[in-house]
Structure 1
Amino acid sequence: MDFLKATFVIPFALYLIPSLTGYNITYRKYDIRNIICDTLKDTDIILSYDHSVILKYSLDNKGHDFRPSFYCKYKVLARESNMGIIAIVQKMRFRQFSEEICIDYLKLKIDGLPTCGNILFGKTVNKDGNISSTYENYIRNKYWTQGTHIQEDHTLETEMSLNNHRPQINDTLEMEVAYTGFRRCYEGSSSEWFDCGHNVCIKSTLINDGIVNCPFGDCRDEGNCEYARRQAENETK
């Protein structure tokens, strides 16, 4: 990694959007289109244990004759050498031709499978608005869901694409993904760390805040997924 580039890009990005960070300094929030991809090219985002990163995108068509066309890739880098990276789609409404074919997509890992459709806390939301309990991926005898990725090492490259296929009237495209640093629980436990299960620990400051940081589909750091959903809905009112 070009160290000079990284040290220049990240402070500049933080300086550009103080209003997006809100009052919760645990999370650094960025507009993926206007900040991460359009303003600063080939951005490297630095992640620490104490500060998670949330990237957001939204487009409300409102009946306009508009064809979105957008492509972006970026890297999330762990600050500490022993840190892994958890990526969880907090919410998503991306278009699909079918259950197997995406019109718009997010690849949490650039060489991984595309994620699209209606996703909440990394899990598929069905037509009735219920959160699916299905696990789509399997690794090392552990499960995680469609909109979740666990990166063991300190670099995760993500890719996002919006197709120029014309949206239907009143289509809303939106996506929010949270990146969280984790360590293995056997490296030492204390009240500063929260056990997500499967030997994955995150900082305790990240629990019960409406953002799901634990990657195994049970929303453990928020009590459960329905509680997290209600809390997130209250935050947007």
Structure 2
Amino acid sequence: MGILPKLFLALSIVTTNLPYSSNYTDYVLDPKNQNKLCSSSFPHREVEIKENAALRINFTLSEEEQSSNSAYKQNFICVFFLKVPEGMGIFGVIQKMAFRRDSRTNDCTDYIQFRHSKNRGWFEKALNVDLERKTEHWSADQICGEVTPLQEPFSEIPTTTSDVARHATLNRANYLAVKVNISKKKLKPNERIEIVVAFTPFKECSNDSEEMKLCGHNTCILKSYFNDRIINCPFVNCVDEECSPLIEEDRPSLWSGKIAVTAVSSIFLSFFLFLGCIMMCRYAEMFCWGDGHPPDRGTELSEVEPTAPSHHDSPSPDKDLPPAYETLFPSER
């Protein structure tokens, strides 16, 4: 096998084994509703989640932002509906939350609610409507307080429905209503409220399959959602992740998985492309960084001048000469 085929084979092996990034769609909740997700009155936005995708919502608010934005002078209410394909259900897991409570009554000041919508009957399907969604009645519990990422470690796969975490929801129907309420109550200095929630489609199952993995309670999600630092299974034992608390600096952002995969891919591709250019240049007996002609060795040597001092002997002008013959043997006259 030649050099180039080996190079492309190695490149294909490396790119095939790069870590797979789960497919998440991210929405940032804001009172200006720039992403058209939130609505406080009917009709509410319906967001469809595909079988191989998931969705995350994110909201943060500081005391400075609340003071500078007139939209927070009234309660910010965001309501939307999630829909997955027929025959699937929806998991909702709060990844992080810091919502206020009333210090006297312990009631929620800010909260999130999940309302389970049942499957539509034949009459509703024929008219393509959902009568339940037209009501504004929310009997579901209000969820507030604080949730830290990956902080509820248990070891065994859950066996009862009571094992659904307090900050999660499981809806076996394909509709889920979500309501987020942010109070207009003034935040304290340096106080901050925030929430991150992940919504994941699941299927009924009893065993792992080629693409799906058991999550608990005869439910399966895509294998790519396991060990991606996002909790998708709604049970208290964190089936799909290692439940160890994250430090602030180590917490991944909403885009960290995609950025990490892109960075690793770019490094490998750049390295192999550079290596391929070198191989092709050498294969064609052309050096990309020179004119291809080595310097003349004879010329190089001829230009070198000696630097050592000369060792030729020369008589010293101060050396005494032997006496003349006439001085040693004067002639008689």
* Corresponding position of 2:250: 233
* Corresponding position of 1:197: 216
- In 1, the alpha carbon distance for the partners of 2:52 and 2:249 equals 21
Q: Is the 8 A contact 1:211 1:232 kept in 2?
A: no
Work out which of the residue numbers 120, 128, 134 in structure 1 matches 2:148.
Answer: 120
Work out which of the residue numbers 72, 87, 91 in structure 2 matches 1:86.
Answer: 91
1:71 and 2:77 are equivalent in the alignment: yes
State the Cα distance separating 1:208 from its structure 2 match: 1.1
- Quickly say closer, same or farther: Cα 1:32–1:232, change in 2 above 3 A: farther
Q: SS at the partner of 1:107?
A: strand
Which runs of no fewer than 5 residues in structure 2 stay unpaired? 1-19, 116-137, 257-333
- In 2, the alpha carbon distance for the partners of 1:49 and 1:120 equals 28
- In 2, the alpha carbon distance for the partners of 1:65 and 1:142 equals 41
* Corresponding position of 2:38: 37
State the Cα distance separating 1:27 from its structure 2 match: 0.4
State the Cα distance separating 1:183 from its structure 2 match: 0.8
- Quickly say closer, same or farther: Cα 1:55–1:225, change in 2 above 3 A: same
- Quickly say closer, same or farther: Cα 1:77–1:174, change in 2 above 3 A: same
Give the length in aligned residue pairs: 199
Q: Is the 8 A contact 2:203 2:220 kept in 1?
A: yes
State the Cα distance separating 1:142 from its structure 2 match: 3.9
Q: SS at the partner of 1:220?
A: coil
Q: Is the 8 A contact 1:64 1:169 kept in 2?
A: no
* Corresponding position of 2:139: 111
Matching residue's letter, 2:148: L
Work out which of the residue numbers 183, 190, 196 in structure 1 matches 2:203.
Answer: 183
- In 2, the alpha carbon distance for the partners of 1:96 and 1:171 equals 13
Deviations along 1:156-215, whole A, 9 cap, x unmatched? 0111101111110111111111100011113x6413111111111101011111110011
After superposition, the CA RMSD in angstroms is: 3.1
Q: Is the 8 A contact 1:27 1:54 kept in 2?
A: yes
- In 2, the alpha carbon distance for the partners of 1:83 and 1:162 equals 30
TM-score (normalizing by structure 1) = 0.73
Identify which range, 102-111 or 162-171, moves more after superposition: 102-111
Q: Is the 8 A contact 2:153 2:244 kept in 1?
A: no
Q: Is the 8 A contact 2:96 2:196 kept in 1?
A: yes
Deviations along 1:69-101, whole A, 9 cap, x unmatched? 20011100012x110000011111111114841
Q: Is the 8 A contact 1:60 1:173 kept in 2?
A: yes
Matching residue's letter, 1:37: C
Work out which of the residue numbers 163, 173, 185 in structure 2 matches 1:143.
Answer: 163
Matching residue's letter, 2:24: Y
Q: Is the 8 A contact 1:144 1:216 kept in 2?
A: yes
- Quickly say closer, same or farther: Cα 1:43–1:64, change in 2 above 3 A: closer
* Corresponding position of 1:28: 25
Q: Is the 8 A contact 2:26 2:58 kept in 1?
A: yes
- In 2, the alpha carbon distance for the partners of 1:191 and 1:205 equals 11
Q: Is the 8 A contact 2:22 2:228 kept in 1?
A: no
- Quickly say closer, same or farther: Cα 1:116–1:27, change in 2 above 3 A: same
Q: Is the 8 A contact 1:76 1:156 kept in 2?
A: yes
Q: SS at the partner of 2:202?
A: strand
- In 2, the alpha carbon distance for the partners of 1:231 and 1:195 equals 30
- In 1, the alpha carbon distance for the partners of 2:233 and 2:65 equals 37
1:60 and 2:88 are equivalent in the alignment: no
TM-score (normalizing by structure 2) = 0.53
Matching residue's letter, 1:82: G
- In 1, the alpha carbon distance for the partners of 2:247 and 2:217 equals 26
Q: Is the 8 A contact 1:143 1:216 kept in 2?
A: yes
